Structure 1
Amino acid sequence: MKTYKIPLVPGPTSVPAEYREAYMTDYGSTDLEEEFFELLEENQNLLKKMLHTENDVIIGSGEGMLALWGAMKSVIKPGDKVLAVSNGIFGHGFGKMAEAMGARAEYLEASDGAFVSAEALRTKLAEFRPDVVTAVHCETPSGLLNPIAEIAQAVAESGALFIVDFVASAGGAEVRVDDWRIDLGLMGSQKCLSILPDLSMITVSGRAWKRAAEVNYPGYDAILPWKTAVADRYMPYTHNWHANAAMNLSLKHFFAEGAENVFRRHAGAASCCRARAKELGLRLYAADEALCSPTVTALIVPDGWTWKEFDSALRAEGLAVGGSYGPLAGKVFRVGHMGSQADLGLVNKGMDVIARVLRK
């Protein structure tokens, strides 16, 4: 299998050696040993601090999509009304997931490269009166960081449960769960935390716990068993000690560096990427640069190239970036500068490769 010396895919991100070492260590039983429960509790508390929340935090075994499916299935019943606020494939995907559960989904879609306004959302909320509203903080396929704070009040006023995917932003951009009135906040391990794609995290409000008890979904990804699992020292399934040990290192490094310094590092890497892209004549997908994420930059595939040709040329030079999905497939490519990859030296090396390829 070929590997690349300049890893800039938008997740899973490059795993530092110290975190890899945690995966290669032998541990005991996650079902029986107090040391594991103490580790799990420490990780929960570190995540609460990172995400600015007093809500409970669930850490599940499975990558970030487990959080999305588990949260949705735990609080949505057939016939419920779900409003998907969307400007990308993951935002739209929330609605499709709801439909698969028998819910009635409607969509508030933004124009390409933009986000919905609070006024438009209020109008839609009054018209549709949803039980649940979903949104995505960082829409990675389009490189957009959506201003969740600007729509949070409108959602809160509606009384709907608010589900937000911050898988690709948390740890690289500020997330304020309580200030934004998020009932179910969704996170994964493979983006800004820079460990393997093996853990999913969910913040759960009191309202969300109440709704989960009413729905009583019983699956592997259900959130309800986690309400008492850690306190009772009784796991719903055999957990992943290795991944929790690696995440513990990552979270401690986040706070050792300092949250503001981490966010400044991500913003600097993103700014460098965008500035160099513009120098090369590449165009941002975002209609407004203010919406560009500090964790990933989406660029239009340059004229005269197909995405397949361009990707092959970059990989021949040792650079791995990402393509995109859905309507943007073949039109947009993405540079992932999140977690361990939010590094100016690495980003500059990647942009040097892009410059060389474009000059050929």
Structure 2
Amino acid sequence: MKTYPIGLVPGPVSVPQKIREAWLTDFGSSDLEPDFFELYAQNQALLQKLLGTKNDVVITAGEAMSILWGGLKNALKPGEKLLAVASGLFGEGFADMARSIGAVAETVAAPFDSLPDPEKVREAALRFRPKLITAVHCETPSGTLTPLKELGEIAREVGALFLVDFVASGAGTPINVDSCHIDIGLLGSQKVLSLPPSLSISTLSPAAWQVFAEVNYSGYEAYLPWRDVPETPYMPYTHDWQSMQALHLALTSLMEEGFENVYARHARAAQLCRSMGLEMGLELFPLSEDICSPTVTAFKVPSQWAWKELDSALRAHGMVVGGNYGCLADKVFRIGHMGSQAQEELVRRGMNVLKEVLKTS
């Protein structure tokens, strides 16, 4: 197994040393110790500030796919309707996931290099009348960032819950859950928060809890057993105290830096990445720089290169970036400038390596 001094993958990102140290501490039992539940409550409050919400925050152990599934399983019974707003692989994936649990799904699809059209979403929502509307804020395979407020208003207009995957954007750009009418907001620890993929974070509105009670899903991803945690000191399984302590360190670090400064740091790193890439002749995958995410940049693989050869050449120079999936595999590559990697010095080093490698073609 190899590691690389210039790591610019779009998650999991590099874990800072002070975060890693949380795993060197021995704690008591998270099932029994009041200190753990106090830490849980502190993290809840910090996440509410970060995400702009008064809604409940649930923090569970496991990678974020667990809550993508959980959001659907807790909100939908077989035969109920989901409308997936999609301009990328993860957006379209919600429809596939919904069908696999017996729901009826329809997709309002936009090309992967663009953004969804809210008017088309409204038309589909009024006709289809879904129980749940899903969207992805940052489509990491495409490197795009979708505006959320109008989509949330459409969900309110048709009486649907609004679920948003902001796994790859939360903490790297403003997320205002309440003003965007997000009922189920989903965040992972391995992106901007710069932890390993060990925790999943959900923001849940009163309307979401009401639907969860009606559906009464009882599997591993069930939300209902978490509703009164930590006020009621009982959890459905043993939690990860080390990861919760690491999360606390990450959140307090963001607070100390100041959220606006964090967002500005991400914007500068993204702008540097894109400007250097364009200067060396690369082509952005998104149609416009205006729709690019501040946490990840997607470039087209240059025509004179095969992705495997380009990837190998970069690794030989100590740099690792992200490939892609599905229809974008071998055609689009991604540079992750999120969390600990949203550093202009690191991005500049990486882009200079890329520039030198491209000269060898």
Same fold (TM over 0.5): yes
Instruction: Give the conservation status (yes or no) of the 8 Å contact 1:186–1:201.
Output: yes
Pairwise CA distance, 1:259: 0.5
Rounded to whole Å, the distance in 2 between the matches of 1:191 and 1:229 is 25
Matched, 1:71 2:71: yes
Counterpart in the other structure of 1:119: 119
Rounded to whole Å, the distance in 1 between the matches of 2:154 and 2:239 is 38
Pairwise CA distance, 1:168: 0.3
Pairwise CA distance, 1:67: 1.3
1:99-120 deviation line (CA, Å, top 9, x unaligned): 0110000000012311122211
Rounded to whole Å, the distance in 2 between the matches of 1:153 and 1:113 is 24
Matched, 1:271 2:271: yes
* 1:220-239 correspondence runs (5 A): 220-239=220-239
Rounded to whole Å, the distance in 2 between the matches of 1:262 and 1:232 is 34
Matched, 1:141 2:141: yes
Q: Which moved more, 1:120-129 or 1:37-46?
A: 120-129
- Structure 2 unaligned runs (5+)? none
1:278-317 deviation line (CA, Å, top 9, x unaligned): 0010000111211100000000001111111100000000
Instruction: Give the conservation status (yes or no) of the 8 Å contact 1:82–1:98.
Output: yes
Rounded to whole Å, the distance in 2 between the matches of 1:14 and 1:112 is 27
1:339-360 deviation line (CA, Å, top 9, x unaligned): 0000000000000110010111
Q: Secondary structure at the match of 1:12?
A: coil
Counterpart in the other structure of 1:340: 340
* 1:20-169 correspondence runs (5 A): 20-169=20-169
Identity among equivalent pairs (%): 54
1:231-251 deviation line (CA, Å, top 9, x unaligned): 110111000000000010000
* 1:169-184 correspondence runs (5 A): 169-184=169-184
Amino acid at match of 2:277: A
Pairwise CA distance, 1:229: 3.0
Amino acid at match of 1:174: P
Name the TM-score, length of structure 1 as normaliser: 0.99
Instruction: Give the conservation status (yes or no) of the 8 Å contact 1:112–1:287.
Output: no
1:204-262 deviation line (CA, Å, top 9, x unaligned): 00010000011111111111111113211011100000000001000001110000000
Rounded to whole Å, the distance in 1 between the matches of 2:111 and 2:355 is 30
Name the TM-score, length of structure 2 as normaliser: 0.99
Q: Secondary structure at the match of 1:36?
A: helix
Pairwise CA distance, 1:126: 1.3
1:167-203 deviation line (CA, Å, top 9, x unaligned): 0000101001000000000000000000110000000
Q: Secondary structure at the match of 1:15?
A: coil
Rounded to whole Å, the distance in 1 between the matches of 2:6 and 2:83 is 39
Amino acid at match of 2:262: V
Instruction: Give the conservation status (yes or no) of the 8 Å contact 1:12–1:194.
Output: yes
Instruction: Give the conservation status (yes or no) of the 8 Å contact 1:133–1:155.
Output: yes
Q: Secondary structure at the match of 1:142?
A: coil
Instruction: Give the conservation status (yes or no) of the 8 Å contact 2:82–2:133.
Output: yes
Counterpart in the other structure of 1:203: 203
Q: Secondary structure at the match of 2:113?
A: coil
Instruction: Give the conservation status (yes or no) of the 8 Å contact 2:55–2:205.
Output: yes
- Structure 1 unaligned runs (5+)? none
Counterpart in the other structure of 1:325: 325
Counterpart in the other structure of 2:252: 252
Matched, 1:16 2:19: no
Pairwise CA distance, 1:151: 2.1
1:56-105 deviation line (CA, Å, top 9, x unaligned): 00000001111111111111110001000000110001111100110000
Rounded to whole Å, the distance in 2 between the matches of 1:232 and 1:78 is 31
Instruction: Give the conservation status (yes or no) of the 8 Å contact 1:83–1:105.
Output: yes
Counterpart in the other structure of 1:187: 187
Pairwise CA distance, 1:152: 2.0
User: What's the Cα RMSD here?
Assistant: 0.7
Counterpart in the other structure of 2:262: 262
Amino acid at match of 1:178: D
Rounded to whole Å, the distance in 1 between the matches of 2:157 and 2:28 is 47
Which of structure 1's runs of 4+ aligned residues deviate more than 6 A? Answer: none
Counterpart in the other structure of 1:241: 241
Rounded to whole Å, the distance in 1 between the matches of 2:129 and 2:94 is 17
1:134-183 deviation line (CA, Å, top 9, x unaligned): 00000001101111123221221111010000000001010010000000
Instruction: Give the conservation status (yes or no) of the 8 Å contact 1:229–1:236.
Output: no
Rounded to whole Å, the distance in 2 between the matches of 1:10 and 1:38 is 32
